Amino acid sequence: MKKVSLKDIAKKAGVSTATVSYVLGNKKCRVSEATKQRIREIAKELNYQPNQIAKSLKSGKTYTIGLIVADISNPFFANLARVIEDEAAKYDYTVIFGSSDESAQKSWKLIQFLQNRQVDGFIIVPTENSEYQIEYLQQQKVPFVLLDRYFPKLSTTNVVINNFEVASTMVNDLMKASQKKIGMIAYKNSLIHMEERIRGFQEASKATEKFIERVNFNAIETEVELALDKLIKNGVDALFFATNSLAVAGLRVLQKNNIKIPQEIALASFDESEAFEFFYSPVSYIQQPIKEMGECAVQLLLNKINTGGTEEKTEKLTAKCVFRKSTQK
């Protein structure tokens, strides 16, 4: 079968080959939106496939982005990856992604692997103790954007949310349902986003460390059960979970022990989960602006790739609270 060329598309559209090249390459050109749309439709109809090798040789780019998230099985990161993939595709970029599983060692292996595949840049959800990896990318002048988390001592381009403020807002609402004490379950790490969520909880609740339980990422089920047992023995009647995965694990334990929500314990979670929809008491949660986060990260990265810019900036987006039955005693 003959490979479809730009010339074939141009002939059918009644325009020049150069115009087709500009339109399919998302470059500025003086043609109407209707003509651009027609060219794209013809390209799709003829099943046009660009010559990626020739394109890369000409531009010096591979048109690939390396995406490293904490856990692609987590709905938050899965949805984020999809947004990034869709946004990158608008500019003919392909996304190659992997999960670090909150392991700095695995994150480093992924960076090396993706660099060997000559990706044009990275979008990274960094793990604890991975500062040296970020410094390495800076030394190598590799374009990258940090997403969801960052390292305050490093000057980098970041896309984050208002963790402290929105956690405070949710906990203030949760306290209205609490007659005694409020507790929190978070991950045991020093990453800024987790620390800010804990700080927001403390600011709103005035709770001491006695009411904050930290669990390991690789032992969620076991340690959440132990953490809940301790908090319940300490008399809490309201709970704030720092992530959706912690909340889902907590719901399993509470249901197993026949603890009624919100009658006996009110609760809320950072991040949403499909499980919250099907739980008998719909769970209040903090909704992160996933679409805006993903699109912003891609735009910032492509700007770095295309301009070689070295100016660093932080985009802080706003999350919102979704109040539901689980916080309404």
Q: Which two tokens stand for residue 22?
A: 């500009």
Give me the residue label for tokens 């609760």.
Answer: 267
CA pair distance 81, 298, nearest whole angstrom:
11
Say which CATH number the domain at 39 has. 1.10.260.40
Domain match, 140 and 82 both: yes
CB neighbour list of residue 5: distance below 8 Å, 6 or more residues apart: none
CA pair distance 246, 231, nearest whole angstrom:
14
* C-beta separation of 48 from 255 below 8 A: no
Please give the average per-residue pLDDT across 168-187, as a whole number.
88
Q: What is the pLDDT of residue 282?
A: 87
Q: Which two tokens stand for residue 253?
A: 């334990």
Domain match, 146 and 195 both: no
Q: Given pLDDT bands bounded at 50, 70 and 90, which one contains residue 30?
A: confident
Q: Is the pLDDT of residue 58 over 70?
A: no
Domain match, 124 and 147 both: yes
Domain match, 151 and 74 both: yes
- Structural domain includes residue 317: no
Give me the residue label for tokens 């374009």.
Answer: 143
| Radius of gyration of the chain from its Cα atoms, rounded to whole angstroms | 24
Q: What is the pLDDT of residue 177?
A: 73
User: Is the model more confident about 273 or about 302?
Assistant: 302
CB neighbour list of residue 121: distance below 8 Å, 6 or more residues apart: 65, 66, 142, 143, 144, 145, 301, 302, 304, 305
Domain match, 306 and 240 both: no
Domain match, 209 and 135 both: no
Chain segment 9-24, per-residue pLDDT in tens: 988 889 988 888 888 8
CA pair distance 321, 327, nearest whole angstrom:
12
CA pair distance 94, 91, nearest whole angstrom:
9
Amino acid, res. 126: P
* C-beta separation of 160 from 149 below 8 A: yes
User: Is the model more confident about 274 or about 260?
Assistant: 260
Q: Which two tokens stand for residue 290?
A: 């996933």
CA dihedral 294, 300, 303, 308 (to 10 degrees): -130
Domain match, 135 and 175 both: no
Domain match, 266 and 296 both: no
CA pair distance 298, 266, nearest whole angstrom:
38
Q: What is the DSSP letter of 72?
A: T
Q: Which two tokens stand for residue 124?
A: 């990274």
Amino acid, res. 244: N
Domain match, 278 and 192 both: yes
Q: Is the pLDDT of residue 57 over 50?
A: no
Chain segment 109-166, per-residue pLDDT in tens: 999 999 999 999 999 999 999 999 999 999 999 999 999 999 999 999 999 999 999 9
Indicate the pairing of strand 158-161 with strand 121-124.
Answer: unpaired
Does the global pTM surpass 0.85? no
Q: What is the pLDDT of residue 203?
A: 94
Q: Which two tokens stand for residue 199?
A: 């700080």
Say which CATH number the domain at 237 has. 3.40.50.2300
Q: Which domain holds residue 40?
A: 6-50
Q: Which two tokens stand for residue 69?
A: 């998230």
- Structural domain includes residue 56: no
Number of domains in the chain: 3
Q: What is the pLDDT of residue 259?
A: 92
- Average pLDDT of the chain is 91
Q: What is the pLDDT of residue 51?
A: 63
Q: What is the pLDDT of residue 54?
A: 54
